[in-house]
Amino acid sequence: MFVCSCFGITEQQVEQHAADGACTPRQIASACKAGTDCGGCVRRIQALLGRGESPRRELLAPRARSAATAATGLRDAA
């Protein structure tokens, strides 16, 4: 099955690049260009690499703030 229709990259090709050491979507892109044109396949590449979808920045912000306040000993105002 095709993962990237822009460049005709299949799941098998992505899995082979991963077996050869590519472990991020950027490394897959360097190996075969998948994900570098329209970007529609990046989430599928992430799933094939076992990374799932990338968390949104807004969802990470509260965790980062809590970690920073824990490290400094300050209370979280929220």
pLDDT at 73 over 80: no
Q: Which domains does the chain have, with CATH numbers?
A: 2-72 (1.10.10.1100)
Specify the higher pLDDT residue, 28 or 74: 28
Please give the structure tokens belonging to residue 56: 């949104």
Which pLDDT score is estimated for 51?
76
Contact between 14 and 45 under an 8 Å Cβ cutoff? The reply is: yes
Which pLDDT score is estimated for 2?
95
Average pLDDT for 5-13: 97
pLDDT digits (tens, 9 = 90+) for 19-51: 999 999 999 999 999 999 999 999 999 999 987
Which pLDDT score is estimated for 57?
47
Please give the structure tokens belonging to residue 68: 């920073």
